[in-house]
Amino acid sequence: MKNFVFSFLSAVLLMISQTVSAQNAAQKFQVDSITVIMKPTVKDIINVSVYYRGGVTNYSPEKAGIENLALAGAPECGTKLFSKDAFKNKADQFGINVYGSSTYDYGVISVNCIKKYFNEGWSLLEAAVKNPLYDEKDFDLLKQKVISGIKNADADPDSKILKMAVATTFKNTPYVIDATGEVNTVTNLSAKEIKDYYYNTLLNKNRMFIVVVGKISKEEITKKIKNAFGGIPSKTYTASTYHTPEIISNSLNSEPRKLATNYIIGVVNAPLFTSGDFAVNRLAVSAFSENLFTEIRTKRNLSYAPHAMSVLQQMPYDYMYVSTTDPKASVEVMVNELNRIIRKGFSQKELTDTKNLFITTNYMKEESTDKMAAALGKSEILGNWKMDEEFVDKIQKTTPADMTNVFKKYIKGINWNYLGDEKAADEAKDAFNMKVN
């Protein structure tokens, strides 16, 4: 009865979501050579996000963290129009949130505010994008905050194991660069370097695009973008070509650390975002994640929160995660469950349960303008801005056989990463060497 009610609720939410999407379809257009992706909504919250392409491909490992500091510092280290304090005071007065950051594939500066105060929010966004100052005193404070965050992340086992997994999987690619930076690289960056990098590298119409979500007309946002950003220079920009490493056999990367439990991530291949297999893979990994929880947590009590995830990047990957005091038993269960699915396939029930969760989650995402903007922006970065709006329809058409076949097609080997007791890792070596077949 519970599953029936959940399925019925999901169907209702899907119909509502499809109706809203049809009425407020996203569109793509140009304003003074700047690409704009706009999704009108009936909500009073407006999000405008200015994206910068390239991410970690824009700089060398020695400058790791430079883009993240440049974009985080744009609204935090003063502008020509607003000092740091004046910027913050205006944002606080009108409930405006302006923020910037950079990841592996892109950087962004965003504003989120209610429509009533959109002009005030826009003035802050315009100042941060066009004329950041990077005041040296304010920049030093931001830099210390970032360094503190890096140290905390390195001390946190969950953050550390994921960083290990990315570094070992993509060791001969730009993804070896941590977008946030390392303590030594961030320490060595100066306010002048950050300012030069922003104005000479990032501030370029050919590298930028803008995502707008909220209750605002195309005419209004077009006028604002033209007036604010029309004078930004257009420079040559060639996007990087990505060559995703293929995992065809098992490997183990282990780092000893005295911890109460051991942390393990197994990385496998995944389809590109623009591939016809993408939506199917997302559904399959979600179903597999539920299976891991049942087998490892519910049945055997080997871990608190085992799961599997798809990571959406220019070079994508899927991974399995577990934190456990019994690495050998946990890894054996993970590989056995993976092989069971490859050999016997996903069931109709696994498909139905997972599909319902996806539909409900997608509808809940539509409740937030900033999340809608982020989804559209990331979709554009990864090659197809329409994928976000087509995702639910693709999920609806997926079959259990599709899910099984995508695992068979992509999963050939596992890149295991281990953080914890060295003796327990040695005892689990046979489990880490178990083949996928």
13-53 pLDDT per residue, tens: 444 444 444 447 899 999 999 999 999 999 899 999 999 99
Indicate whether 71 and 191 sit together in one domain: yes
Strand 34-40 and strand 208-214: the pairing is parallel
Indicate whether 285 and 186 sit together in one domain: no
Q: Which residue has the higher pLDDT, 35 or 361?
A: 35
- pLDDT tens digits along 269-278: 999 999 999 9
CB 84 within 8 A of CB 51: no
Sign, CA torsion 121/122/127/128: positive
Indicate whether 199 and 256 sit together in one domain: no
Q: Which residues of 139-171 are buried (b: 16+ CB within 10 A; e: fewer)?
A: beebbeebbeebeeeeeebeebbbbbbbebbbe
Whether 183 has a pLDDT exceeding 90, the answer reads: yes
Q: What is the pLDDT of residue 290?
A: 95
Indicate whether 226 and 259 sit together in one domain: no
Instruction: Work out the percent of the chain whose per-residue pLDDT is above 90.
Output: 88
CATH number, domain of 148, equals 3.30.830.10
List, in sequence order, every residue forming a beta bridge with 417; answer none if it has no partner. Answer: 253, 265
Indicate whether 32 and 180 sit together in one domain: yes
Whether 10 has a pLDDT exceeding 70, the answer reads: no
Range list of H helices, 156-274: 157-169, 183-188, 191-197, 218-229
pLDDT band, residue 358 (cuts 50/70/90): confident
Indicate whether 356 and 404 sit together in one domain: yes
Q: Is 138 among the domain residues?
A: yes
Q: Which domain holds residue 276?
A: 251-433
Whether 407 has a pLDDT exceeding 50, the answer reads: yes
Q: Report the domain count for the chain.
A: 2
Q: Is 94 among the domain residues?
A: yes
Indicate whether 95 and 143 sit together in one domain: yes
Q: What is the mean pLDDT of residues 109-125?
A: 98
Q: How many Å apart are CA 365 and CA 188, to the nearest integer?
A: 39
Indicate whether 36 and 153 sit together in one domain: yes
Closest listed residue to residue 419, CA positions, set 262, 203, 296: 262
Q: Is 327 among the domain residues?
A: yes
- pLDDT tens digits along 64-96: 999 999 999 999 999 999 999 999 999 999 999
CB 359 within 8 A of CB 10: yes
What pTM does this model have? 0.92
Q: Is 310 among the domain residues?
A: yes
Indicate whether 39 and 100 sit together in one domain: yes
User: Which range has the worst mean pLDDT, 168-172, 359-363, 401-405, 412-416?
Assistant: 359-363
Indicate whether 408 and 273 sit together in one domain: yes
Closest listed residue to residue 422, CA positions, set 301, 209, 258: 258
pLDDT band, residue 388 (cuts 50/70/90): confident
Indicate whether 304 and 359 sit together in one domain: yes
Whether 392 has a pLDDT exceeding 90, the answer reads: no
Instruction: Work out the percent of the chain whose per-residue pLDDT is above 70.
Output: 94
Q: Is 245 among the domain residues?
A: no
CB 415 within 8 A of CB 246: no
